[in-house]
Structure 1
Amino acid sequence: MGARWIDLAGQRAVVTGGTKGVGQAVVAALAAAGARVVTSARARPATLPDGIGFVAADLMSSDGCAALARFVEAELGGVDILVNVLGGSSAPGGGFAALDDALWMSELNQNLMGAVRLDRALVPGMVERRSGVVIHVTSIQHELPLPESTMAYAAAKAALATYSKALSKEVTPKGVRVVRVSPGWVETEAAVRLAERIAQQAGTDYEGGKAIIMQSLGGIPLGRPVQPQEVADLIAFLVSPRAGAISGTEYVIDGGTVPTA
């Protein structure tokens, strides 16, 4: 694994959304570095790597977050690393007028409140021990929103970024680091399906579908999407002692998509 140069032996880690995409890559990276890892999803996947703890929980709900927190306290006795990866959007196209209250609340629960609730449950233990790291995975869309279909998602990620900064100012003096990681377009399973669908609609191949998506983002100077493992390797570094002086900031990993400094 790419994170073998990181030593997390003895560390207890929780990764939300850890059965697919970026979350799955983060789980593997932290485990490869020696951490004991627990993750969650609504349903147990067909396979899980050996040694990975799992809780079936809907983290869009208060009850689901509470169930994960209870499992972590019972099985691990607390947590040293909390990586809030869970996120996504199921909103339809059509801009602001297509988003009713239920859709707005769904996007907020998925992209903001899950992290808020888990932090509230698990960070106090870190503060008590004066040690811990919290990662919030945001998105470049909080700077570059796409109004056609991801307005609510982008707004929720912007709220997550602001909340994360405020949390860092409160708990960093108490020994807990809080860092944001802001990916651009990542070539996850969902992204592959999107590119294939766009390619079919446009009468082109998969690479053509990817090119259409990159063009919609204003171009990716690197010429390709980010890979989940690349995000995971960045997170593995940030939660490690090698990043011990880093807190309260955001790391963008987007292949140069955001056009400003």
Structure 2
Amino acid sequence: MQNKQNEHKDLTGKTALVTGGTKGIGKAIADRLQQAGAKVIVTARNPPEESNSDHHFIAADLMQAGQVTKLAQDINEKFGGIDILVDNIGGLTTPGGGFSALTDQHWESELQLNLLAAIRLDRALLPKMLEQKSGVVIHMSSVSGMLPLWQHNMAYAVAKAALNSYSKALANELAGKGIRVLTVSPGATKTPPMEKFIQQIASSTGLTPDEAFQHLMREIGGIPMGRMAEPNEVASLVYFLASPAAAYLTGANYLIDGGALPVA
């Protein structure tokens, strides 16, 4: 019985930071890491809706370099650094319609949110991990990085593809220094942003939300498991990758899409 209890608390003594950790997939990840015994810090631009959250919240806009620097300083001063970093911040903010609908500002905004925010934070927090010669960095990407839908998410998909490449390069650089770097690419997941995305498709096509979802599924070839993922299912994968059970894993991109991507 004692061994089973320890297995569920295998992150005891670890400190984790989850960006965008106040709702959706980010909150599910923060909750799961805490269940495993980790002390969890979450950051977002706005405080969590639940005032009784057990997570340590620090407000920050990671698209602002100065706020990233301050966040890292606060974490290092208050917590002495972190052991697990989950770069979860991101999202689709640009219009559909292909290349002609996207301005320079659209491209820059999507790259800032889905690529550069993670790069800045990694650069700010990795020195402490290098000092302790241990750590795990997990980048939350998307199947869109491998299966872009030009009519819906071109800039977002390109930014996530760049994140995938950066994550692999960083993993290779740090593999011999005690730090593991991994990527997780969820497919369709039941979150408010996904519901908003489907509603936007419905509005632009004249379909109902359910018809819009079925239309989207046909465009990506369907989901063999027949449903979207739950946030806690994505969180379970992230927990495993952050845990000692994944000690020999680095540099890989893990899909969690119900079998939707045609090839791995």
Task: Tell me if TM exceeds 0.5.
Answer: yes
Q: Distance in 2 between matches of 1:48 and 1:104?
A: 35
Q: CA deviation at 1:84?
A: 0.4
Is residue 2:28 matched to residue 1:30? Answer: no
Equivalent in 88, 91, 103 of residue 88 of structure 1: 91
Match of 1:247 in 2: 250
Q: How does 1:69-218 map to 2 (within 5 A)?
A: 69-196=72-199, 198=201, 202=206, 204=208, 207-218=210-221
Match of 2:4 in 1: none
Q: Distance in 2 between matches of 1:51 and 1:194?
A: 30
Q: Distance in 1 between matches of 2:41 and 2:227?
A: 31
Deviations 1:145-201 (A, max 9, x none): 011131111111111111111111111100000011111111111212333555576
- Letter of the 1:257 partner, please give it: A
Kept after mapping to 1: 8 A contact 2:96/2:154:
no
Q: Distance in 1 between matches of 2:192 and 2:139?
A: 21
Q: Distance in 1 between matches of 2:218 and 2:23?
A: 26
Is residue 2:236 matched to residue 1:223? Answer: no
Count of matched residue pairs: 257
Report the 3-state secondary structure (helix = DSSP H, G, I; strand = E; otherwise coil) of the residue aligned with 2:182: strand
Q: 1:85 to 1:198 in 2, by over 3 A?
A: same
Cα RMSD, aligned residues only:
1.7
Equivalent in 63, 66, 69 of residue 66 of structure 1: 69
Q: CA deviation at 1:17?
A: 0.7
- Letter of the 2:110 partner, please give it: E
Is residue 2:8 matched to residue 1:5? Answer: yes
Kept after mapping to 1: 8 A contact 2:23/2:48:
no
- Letter of the 1:220 partner, please give it: I
Q: 1:48 to 1:231 in 2, by over 3 A?
A: farther
- Letter of the 1:112 partner, please give it: L
Q: CA deviation at 1:209?
A: 3.9
The gaps in structure 1 that reach 5 residues or longer are none
Q: Distance in 2 between matches of 1:51 and 1:67?
A: 22
The gaps in structure 2 that reach 5 residues or longer are 1-6
Deviations 1:112-136 (A, max 9, x none): 0111001101111111111100001
Q: Distance in 2 between matches of 1:111 and 1:189?
A: 18
Q: CA deviation at 1:202?
A: 4.5
Report the 3-state secondary structure (helix = DSSP H, G, I; strand = E; otherwise coil) of the residue aligned with 1:169: helix
Q: Distance in 2 between matches of 1:196 and 1:166?
A: 36
Deviates further, 207-216 or 166-175: 207-216
Q: 1:105 to 1:171 in 2, by over 3 A?
A: same
Q: Percent identity?
A: 48
Kept after mapping to 2: 8 A contact 1:13/1:79:
yes
Deviates further, 8-17 or 60-69: 60-69
Q: Which has the higher helix share?
A: 2
Deviations 1:69-126 (A, max 9, x none): 1221122110000000111111112211111111111100100011100110111111
- Letter of the 1:69 partner, please give it: A
Q: 1:203 to 1:180 in 2, by over 3 A?
A: closer
Kept after mapping to 1: 8 A contact 2:190/2:231:
yes
Q: Distance in 1 between matches of 2:52 and 2:70?
A: 22
Give the TM-score taking structure 2 as reference length. Answer: 0.92
